[in-house]
Amino acid sequence: MSQAPLAITMGDPAGIGPEIVAKSWAVRALRSLPQFALVGDPAAVRRVWSGPVEAIDDLDEAAAVFDRALPVLAVGDAGPVTPGAPEVGGAKAALQALERSIALVRSGAARALVTGPVSKAQLYGIGFNHPGQTEFVAERCGIAAEDAVMMLAGPSLRVVPITVHVPLAQVPSLLSVELIVAKGRATALGLTRDFGIAAPRLAFAGLNPHAGEGGAIGREEIDILAPAIAQLRDEGIDATGPFPADTLFHARARAGYDAVLCCYHDQALVPIKTLHFDEGVNITLGLPIVRTSPDHGTAFGIAGRDEAHPGAMIAAIALAGQAADRRARA
């Protein structure tokens, strides 16, 4: 497939992003990872890793460097950042790396984007006004935020939260037939385009305990979820539910669907993080580019201690390469 490398943003340089990218490079052959380059401050990597690092001026140089050193496209001078102690300079460097990486992927210089973990609190301090990196990437790609779907994927489970970073008390008022149908369509398309599943099977979790118990403890399943699922079926999408959430995530249930759409953030993220904490990948569906991210945060508490597990970053790199290859073949 395309020889263009993946672009990986370093995330906040005071977090574990530089370390887990470096550790991923160290097992590149063992894990059959595609070529990639870190976009960010080379000094941030050297502070936390003693392995080979080589600064490059252009992504075209990554292929020649990749076998002997971690190639780093120098973008953003974070300054004298201390691991575990986030500062404004690091947030600015993280945002510069993200901006540059999106442009590289959109231009074709990189074939997929993998984003390192950032501190939204630090970004908000420099004027960042998006709920997260997903919405920022969508905007830069010309996609409305509501059309970008966050999926968390692991070896045995894929979940999509229909509502994401909102207070739990607001969830019932935010659910609508239109929103659920839009998320279902995007999920089905993403499963085909990025995962190679020809006929995706979608399951939907109910909002209320026992999926409302026939309306006895909530009508959202009857008035909102069921009509949306019926519309998706009318469009030819294999959609089932709504099911009680407490019965959806055991092994036999997981064998019956390719992804489950959940009504709110924790309904989706608790099971995926319980099953695949060190392997979970955040992939954004509905974008014109491939974008993945490890499903964890900056972990400032362990940054610089050589304790960060690279499993989720390794999985994010592998999935990004696989999805990019599938899109190229299509």
User: pLDDT digits over 9-48, tens only?
Assistant: 999 999 999 999 999 999 999 999 999 999 999 999 999 9
pLDDT score recorded for residue 189? 94
Instruction: Return the percentage of the chain with pLDDT > 90, whole number.
Output: 84
Could you give the percent of the chain with pLDDT greater than 70? 99
231 has pLDDT over 80:
yes
Using one digit for the tens of pLDDT, what is the confidence trace for 187-213? 999 999 999 999 999 999 999 999 999
In whole numbers, what is the pLDDT of the chain averaged over residues? Answer: 94
How far is residue 92's CA from residue 77's CA, in Å, rounded to a whole number? 9
pLDDT above 60: residue 1: no
Residue 2 is predicted with a pLDDT of 55
pLDDT of 167: 94
Contact assessment for residue 70 and residue 18, using Cβ atoms and an 8 Å cutoff: no
Place 144 in a pLDDT band, splitting at 50, 70 and 90.
confident
Q: What is the pLDDT of residue 44?
A: 92
Tokens 């190229």 belong to residue: 328
pLDDT tens-digit series, residues 263-295: 999 999 999 999 998 899 999 999 999 999 998
